Amino acid sequence: MKIVFIIIRKEFKQIFRNKAMIPIIFVLPLLQLVILSNAATYEVKDIQVAYIDHDNSISSRLLIEHIKGSSYFLAPIHFETSRQAEEVILKDKVDMVLEIPGDFEKNIINSQHPQIALRINAIDGATAGVQNVYIQQIVMHFNKNIQLKNKTLNTFNQSFSKTESIASFWYNRNLNYKTLMVPGILVLIITMLTIFLSSMNIVREKEIGTLEQINVTPIKKWQFIVGKLFPFWVIGLLLLSVGLLISKLIFNIPMLGSIFLIYGYTSLYLLVILGMGLFISNFTDTQQQAMFIAWFFVVIFILMSGLFTPVESMPTWAKIFTEFNPVAYFVEMMRMVMLKGSNFQDASRLIIKTFIYAVIMNSLAVWSYRKKI
């Protein structure tokens, strides 16, 4: 035990002696948290519409007014010809082109199914879908209003009784995307920092030759590994603390569940990641190699964790993969505990999975670490 303590003391000295490392460890990740949480959004706003009005009637102008009145849209820009409008869509100046045909009002009055043409820039399909939903809502709204106005002319349509569904959103009442993103991004930051630090730290000793010196001493494998990884475990938990504080103070993210559960789970999760870092460092000879391999895993784990894209909409093989993705466990855990107030029992499935993962990962890491060459 004393030897473990001696190694830990040396590691902390080296980490905190490196003046450039302290901001890298604590300031950069938290900046990421603040920046990414504000930027990574599913909200579609400030939609720019270009329109060509061949009708130039009261009805067509009313439709444009409706768009103008929506908080999701910027004031639409008027063009004379559809060619002009298409030019600006090519230049990415507008998101969609709305063309109102010459017989628009006439068709409304005659109940002839008036039609408008809509061209949406769908390079980003998800965004285009949302934009389409918004504009459809506006058109529906416009329809209602126009029907009310033409009530005398058109009583028949009004007799339709429409079924409406009223949704109530649980756990994230205001559909605030930050509530969803902040716990997830915190996971991302903790994972990246600890896997990079741990994988590169041991390889660094290989590079400078001190590992050989250590291997000639009677230090035991487990003493060295525990001594090496413990400081990063502490740093991971420290980062969690600061991250939770920021998510409360800046983003006002609720903490419905037990904070002890979060800490307990993170302690376990960090063992998985640190074991992985050690495993990587055992199979690499330079910090550069270690970094690229850690990066390879981190990118896959994060992009497939359900942090940015919902797991539910992934193809089946990817869903199966997330069963083996520790970052996905952590993201789910954080969201469950912080936002839904899930308790130990609710999360037991994740905890058991993480525990098994930690055991396997660390056994592999210890097994592959060799004091011999």
Partner 1 sequence: METTIKATNLTKSFGDFTAVDKLNFEVEKGEIFGFLGANGAGKTTAMKMLIGISKPSAGDAVVAGYQVSNQAELVKKNIGYMSQKFALYDDLNIKENIQFFGGIYGLDSKSIEVKYNRVVENLGLQDYAKQLVRSLPLGWKQKLAFSVALLHQPKIVFLDEPTGGVDPVTRRQFWELIYEAANQGTTIFVTTHYMDEAEYCDRISIMVEGEIKALDTPKVLKKEFGVSSLNDVFLKLAR
Rounded to a whole number of angstroms, the minimum distance from the CB of residue 273 to partner 1 is 25
Q: From 215-223, 257-265, 271-279, 345-353, give the range in contact with partner 1 by CB under 8 A.
A: 215-223
Rounded to a whole number of angstroms, the minimum distance from the CB of residue 286 to partner 1 is 15
CB-nearer residue toward partner 1: 324 or 367 = 367
User: Pick from 117, 104, 113, 115: which is nearest to 59 by CA?
Assistant: 104
Rounded to a whole number of angstroms, the minimum distance from the CB of residue 284 to partner 1 is 18
Rounded to a whole number of angstroms, the minimum distance from the CB of residue 220 to partner 1 is 8
Alpha-carbon distance of 250 to 68, in angstroms, equals 32
Q: Supply 315's token pair.
A: 């193809």
Residue 325 phi, psi (nearest 5): -105, 105
CB-nearer residue toward partner 1: 109 or 211 = 211
Q: Is 163 helix (H, G, I), strand (E, B) or coil?
A: coil
Is 7 a binding residue for partner 1 by CB under 8 A? The answer is yes
Q: Cβ–Cβ contacts within 10 Å for residue 361, how many?
A: 20
- Sketch the per residue contact string, 14 through 43, with partner 1: x for CB under 8 A, - otherwise: x--xx-------------------------
User: Pick from 311, 91, 232, 273: which is nearest to 79 by CA?
Assistant: 91
Of positions 35, 140, 153, 208, contacts partner 1 by CB under 8 A: 208
Of positions 163, 165, 209, 312, contacts partner 1 by CB under 8 A: 209
Is 13 a binding residue for partner 1 by CB under 8 A? The answer is yes
Alpha-carbon distance of 319 to 313, in angstroms, equals 9
Of positions 43, 46, 124, 212, contacts partner 1 by CB under 8 A: 212
Q: Supply 116's token pair.
A: 């408008």
Of positions 56, 81, 157, 210, contacts partner 1 by CB under 8 A: 210
Q: Is 120 helix (H, G, I), strand (E, B) or coil?
A: strand
| C-alpha count within 13 angstroms, C-beta hemisphere, residue 330 | 31
Q: Based on the number of CB atoms within 10 Å of its own CB, is 177 exposed (0-12), middle (13-18) or buried (19 or more)?
A: middle
Is 217 a binding residue for partner 1 by CB under 8 A? The answer is yes
Rounded to a whole number of angstroms, the minimum distance from the CB of residue 370 to partner 1 is 9
Rounded to a whole number of angstroms, the minimum distance from the CB of residue 310 to partner 1 is 45
Q: Each residue of 296-332: b (16+ CB within 10 Å) or e?
A: ebbeebbebbbbeeebeeeeeeeeebbeebbbbbbbb
Q: From 30-38, 89-97, 170-178, 213-221, give the range in contact with partner 1 by CB under 8 A.
A: 213-221
Of positions 61, 319, 340, 371, contacts partner 1 by CB under 8 A: 371
Rounded to a whole number of angstroms, the minimum distance from the CB of residue 94 to partner 1 is 57
Residues that bind partner 1 (CB under 8 A): 2-3, 6-7, 10, 13-14, 17-18, 208-210, 212-220, 371-373
